[in-house]
Amino acid sequence: MAGQGHVGVGNSLADNPQPPASAFPPTAVAGGFDQRPGAPARHGRGKQNGEQAVGRSRGGNTSKVHLVGDGAGQVLGWQLTAGQAGDAPQAAGLLVHWLAPAQQVLGDAAYDSDALRALIAAAGANAVIQPNPRRKNQPLFDAVAYKDRHLIEQTFSKFKQFRHIATRYDKLDRSFDAFICLRVITLYLN
C-alpha cells in the first residue's frame, strides 16, 4: 500500500514524501495546470491607462456631463469633461451638429458667452440662455421659453437614478462614457 501513493491509515510520510496529485486539486493557469498546492501569486491587474476626465473643483474631484437634447427630452449627444473645465467651450462642439434644425437653444448661465451666442445666431436659431448676473451688457432673455429647460433637468434626474453614474465608480472616462451610453439606451427603450 505504501507504494501506491495514497496517504492514509498504515502509511507514513517517510514512505511517500511527496503528496499525491489527488490530494490537491489542480488550479488553472495561463500555460496549463499548476500542480503545486495553493494559488499562484497575483501581482495585480496592471495599471489602467487612459483619459480620466476627473478634475478639481470646489466640491473635490468631479466630472461634468454635457448633454444635448431635443424638444421631447431625448438625448442627442453628450460629452464628458473634467470638473474644472468651462461649460461654454464644450457647448460649441456639441451643438455644431444640431444647430441647423434647432429653433431655440436653451442653456443655463454657465453656457452664457458671446462666442456661443454668435454661433447660435449664425445658424439662425434663438439663444435662450440665462445671462450671467455679473455681465455688464445683459442680452435679451425669454423667461417663458426658458421654462422648457426642465426637460434636460429631468433627463439628468433619470441619469442619477442609475447609481453607477450618480457616484462615478469608474476611473477611466471610456468606462464612464460606456455607462452613460447604456443609460441613454435604456431611456430610449422606456
- Measured in degrees and rounded to the nearest 5, phi and psi for residue 183 equal -70, -35
Is 47 a domain residue?
A: no
Same domain, 103 and 21: no
Which H/E stretch holds residue 65? strand 60-69
Gap between the Cα atoms of 115 and 36, Å rounded:
67
One-letter amino acid at 77 equals: G
Q: Are residues 65 and 154 in the same domain?
A: yes
Do 11 and 91 reside in the same domain of the chain? no
Say yes or no: 29 and 118 in one domain. no
pLDDT of residue 3: 47
Angle at the Cα of 80 (from 79 to 84), degrees rounded to 5? 125
Note the pTM of the prediction, 2 decimals: 0.63
- Cα–Cα distance measured from residue 27 to residue 34, given in angstroms and rounded to the nearest whole number: 6
28 within domain boundaries = yes
Let me know whether 84 and 17 are in one domain.
no
Residue 20 lies in domain: 2-34
The stretches in the chain having pLDDT less than 70 are 1-60, 100-102
Q: 82, 54 in Cβ contact below 8 A?
A: yes
Indicate whether 27 and 60 sit together in one domain: no
Q: What is the pLDDT of residue 9?
A: 43
| Predicted local confidence at residue 8, as pLDDT | 39
Q: How many domains does the chain have?
A: 2
- List pLDDT tens digits, range 95-133: 888 876 668 888 888 888 899 999 988 888 888 998 988
Whether residue 8 is found in the same domain as residue 85: no
Residues 26 and 110 in one domain: no
Rounded distance between C-alpha atoms, residue 23 and residue 6, angstroms: 9
Beta-bridge partner residues of 69: 75
pLDDT of the residue at 2: 46
Does residue 141 fall inside a structural domain? yes
Per-residue model confidence (pLDDT) at position 62? 76
- List all residues 6 or more positions away from 51 whose beta carbon is below 8 Å from its beta carbon: 172, 173, 174
Cα–Cα distance measured from residue 126 to residue 103, given in angstroms and rounded to the nearest whole number: 6
Pair (104, 27) in one structural domain? no
Rounded Cα gap, residues 81 and 115, in angstroms: 20
Query: What confidence score (pLDDT) does residue 11 get?
Result: 42
Residue 45: all three cell numbers together: 491587474
| Percentage of the chain modeled with pLDDT above 90 | 1
Give yes or no: residues 127 and 66 share one domain. Answer: yes
Q: Which amino acid is present at 143?
A: A
Dist. CA 170–CA 174, nearest whole Å: 9
Q: What is the CATH number of the domain that holds 148?
A: 3.30.420
The backbone torsions φ and ψ at residue 64, rounded to the nearest 5 degrees and listed phi first, read -120, 140
Q: Is residue 142 part of a domain?
A: yes
Q: What is the pLDDT of residue 178?
A: 86
Q: Are residues 79 and 132 in the same domain?
A: yes
Q: Are residues 92 and 30 in the same domain?
A: no
